[in-house]
Amino acid sequence: MPDLFTWEFATDPYPAYAWLREHAPVRWTRLPSGVGAWLVTRYGDAREALAEGRLSKNPAHHVGESRGKTGIPGERGADLMTHLLNIDPPDHTRLRRLVSKAFTPRRVAAFEPRVRELTDRFIDGFAGRGEADLIHDFAFPLPIYAICDLLGVPAADQDDFRDWAGMMIRHGNGPRGGVARSVKRMRSYLVELIHRKRGDLGDDLISGLIRASDHGEQLTENEAASLSFILLFAGFETTVNLIGNGVHTLLTHPAARRELQASLARGESALLESAVEELLRYDGPVELATWRYATVPLTIGGQAVAPGDPVLVVLAAADRDPARFGGPDTLDLARRDNPHLGYGHGIHYCLGAPLARLEARTALATLLTRLPDLRFAGDPAELRWRGGLIMRGLRTLPVEFTAEPSRGSRRAGDGPSPA
């Protein structure tokens, strides 16, 4: 049995996952926090477990040493929040239906010009320097300002969100004071904003949430605040790492990257679209799906699971299962048969997938087009991964490139800036 959760594992978990898939596909494992959980690593079992109605998302079902650590900051403690990722039907069905009425693919598609504008603005911020930390300067600020805009957080307040989000990403999901404080501030801000907007509805997503109703039933202010928070939280670090891991993969696969650049130069979009899916499959941001708990005795992949046992589906392992993917350890940007689980599966399937795709495509295409000789600054073997349980992402991604000639007018203080 290989060691899990070490530094080497965080750098490259795939050999350990291959071992688990082959020898112990549903394995009881003690996590660094001391909590035990079943790790599910085969594609077929993973897909079934994600859609299994007898696995609850509600931490109250957890029987064990430590309850309810699902990796979402703010969910424990005084203002524990009910949100999509820790509730079951019928509550989940109702909330998801309501939020889906406001957070529509059409709204996301209409947001494309703004995503392009933000992408260019952040690249403008470092393109003249010839070097950057792509996490700090680009992958981090882009999704936070994008989701703030989409929600309708006034521009003047968006830097606060950047700071709170920075605190959350730097200090992970632990119960440390700074993170709890940031979550609390974000939450009280959102509650207040929703209250204010109720009297003055606009076109933004929060106004859409307030307006959404189902059989005459509307979201309460508290529910609207929790949903806005989960959109921010679920859509933030995931997108940072989709861009970060994606660029990292492209820089370590020069032939694939050249092919993608050539296709972008021809103005094509098909390879870019399949590339983003393949980057998610190959080294996606969500390594493990969020926590699930057995509500009754059941079996997963032939293994008996007792009521109250936590189950963690290892998306990163399932997406490299040779039983489902040909050449699973090979990056194939043009892969056609690619039903990866990077966005999950079943009723909790990622609600933000259209926005994630839009941001990832725009970010990667613009970077590769504007900075065609983008390369690692320093030895990529020295890069440090965050080593969290649920998310997989780099701490920093130093790059260099031929500096763009000055594009002129951007001054310090013009619009959003990195942390």
Contacts with ligand HEM by CB under 6 A lie at 50, 84-85, 96, 147, 230-231, 234-235, 238-239, 242, 280, 284-286, 289-290, 342-344, 348, 350-352, 355-356
Shortest Å distance, C-beta 4 to ligand HEM: 19
Shortest Å distance, C-beta 85 to ligand HEM: 5
Burial class (CB in 10 A: 0-12, 13-18, 19+), 224: buried
Residue placing its CB nearer to ligand HEM in the complex, 150 or 180: 150
What is the C-alpha to C-alpha distance for residues 152 and 158, in angstroms, rounded to an integer? Answer: 10
Token pair of 13, please?
């978990």
Token pair of 289, please?
């799906």
Shortest Å distance, C-beta 308 to ligand HEM: 18
Q: Which residues, listed in sequence order, are joined to residue 400 by a DSSP beta bridge?
A: 131, 375
Burial class (CB in 10 A: 0-12, 13-18, 19+), 24: middle
Shortest Å distance, C-beta 69 to ligand HEM: 14
Residue placing its CB nearer to ligand HEM in the complex, 18 or 243: 243
Q: What is the CA radius of gyration of the chain?
A: 21
Q: Residue 128's CB: how many other CB atoms inside 10 A?
A: 12
Query: Among 173, 100, 145, 98, which residue's Cα sits nearest to residue 353?
Result: 100
Query: Among 184, 210, 122, 116, which residue's Cα sits nearest to residue 418?
Result: 122
Residue 209 in contact with residue 96, Cβ under 8 Å?
no
Residue 391 in contact with residue 287, Cβ under 8 Å?
yes
Residue placing its CB nearer to ligand HEM in the complex, 208 or 401: 208
> Residue 164: helix, strand or coil by DSSP?
helix
Residue placing its CB nearer to ligand HEM in the complex, 197 or 345: 345
Q: Locate all alpha helices (DSSP H) within 87-200, ordered by sequence.
A: 91-102, 105-110, 112-127, 134, 141-151, 155-171, 177-198
What is the C-alpha to C-alpha distance for residues 12 and 165, in angstroms, rounded to an integer? Answer: 26
Shortest Å distance, C-beta 331 to ligand HEM: 17
What is the C-alpha to C-alpha distance for residues 166 and 114, in angstroms, rounded to an integer? Answer: 22
Shortest Å distance, C-beta 357 to ligand HEM: 8
Token pair of 310, please?
């936590």
What is the C-alpha to C-alpha distance for residues 350 and 225, in angstroms, rounded to an integer? Answer: 19
What is the C-alpha to C-alpha distance for residues 294 and 274, in angstroms, rounded to an integer? Answer: 35
Query: Among 149, 133, 141, 131, which residue's Cα sits nearest to residue 169?
Result: 141
What is the C-alpha to C-alpha distance for residues 243 and 251, in angstroms, rounded to an integer? Answer: 12
Residue placing its CB nearer to ligand HEM in the complex, 35 or 286: 286
Shortest Å distance, C-beta 262 to ligand HEM: 25
Residue placing its CB nearer to ligand HEM in the complex, 119 or 238: 238
- Report CA 356 to chain centroid distance, whole Å: 8
Token pair of 320, please?
């490299």
Residue placing its CB nearer to ligand HEM in the complex, 243 or 256: 243
Residue placing its CB nearer to ligand HEM in the complex, 84 or 193: 84
Shortest Å distance, C-beta 130 to ligand HEM: 28
Shortest Å distance, C-beta 115 to ligand HEM: 11
Nearest residue to ligand HEM by CB is 352
Residue placing its CB nearer to ligand HEM in the complex, 141 or 284: 284
Shortest Å distance, C-beta 411 to ligand HEM: 30
Residue placing its CB nearer to ligand HEM in the complex, 127 or 331: 331
Shortest Å distance, C-beta 347 to ligand HEM: 6
Residue placing its CB nearer to ligand HEM in the complex, 89 or 202: 89
